[in-house]
Structure 1
Amino acid sequence: MYDITLKINARLQPIDRGDEYEDPIGEALESRGLGEVTGGGTMLESTGEVKYCEVDLSLEDGSEQTMEALLQILDEIGVPKGSVLQWEGHKQPVGRLEGMGFYANGTELPLEVYQNCDINVVIREMESLMEGVGRFYSYWEGPEDTALYFYGTSFEEMRGRIEKFVEEYPLCHKSRIVRIA
């Protein structure tokens, strides 16, 4: 067996890491007889926010054909820019998706905004506005804000499509948008 780690430049809760990467990669590897997923992990910032994720793979071999098939699987599934395959002292950059973090302010808005607005409305509306360009992958609830993580083909286009909604929906006021991949 040939062990490889996929370091994913994505901010995902462990269950989302499984749904988005471990399960689809494992199914694709097994269906092609190339190997399996053997584990995964999540690296946190000192704040508790996810920094990146890892998926451990065990391939049948390290042949050029197997590696090309793995790269094709990763391209089909879609991983964020800045991700890396690591094995035996080698590093192979992978990823084409761009990431957008939306940080909803959780402490500075009027109390009635928090009582009358819903973060799930924000997620649904943003995902609808980004259709065909990006989608929601995961979230993080911090002490001062709630982060929503979106990945897609273009950070600028994702941000542009939600601008009007962010200006209009009260729960989005005093928010910040950050490029995360």
Structure 2
Amino acid sequence: MDAQRNVDALLDAAKSAFGTLGVDAPARDIAERAGVGVGTMYRHFPRRSDLVVAVLEHEIDACADAGPALSAAHEPYDALTSWLDRYTEFVATKHGLAAALHSGDPAFDALPGYFWERLGPVLDALLEAARATGEIRADISAKDLLSAVALLCHPVPREGPEYGQRMVALLVDGLRNPRD
């Protein structure tokens, strides 16, 4: 149980450190944020890439898991837009991690497939439910939407992450089925 608590603390600490300091955040800083020793961190994540992969998979899983919960709690269009807000937040805060992903390090080779396998079906289900109510257009795919949001969330000089969120809100408004 302590081992899992340490892993969870390290994932949260690494997520926070990566968000503020980038993926090259000092191991000592991550361990201190987690309340563990550096040795404990390296015992669970022997290479920095192991920690980066674990943080990304953890965040992807949390985003994927939000889909069914939102579907159970909201009407289809509201569930879809709430999930897209969650996904937008995920993408907008992961640019340091995205740079690591595109670094050519083979440790990250499986992550794009993991991303699509976990998030694609969740968004497909949300889209299908919203399509069934007639609230959104039928010509949008999960791949289109995941890619569009990711592109809209790229940093823009002199603009904060809220700029990307505004652009995604415009995109989401464009999903609505035009009324006669």
Q: So what's the TM-score if we normalise by structure 2?
A: 0.25
Greater share of strand residues, 1 or 2? 1
Greater share of helix residues, 1 or 2? 2
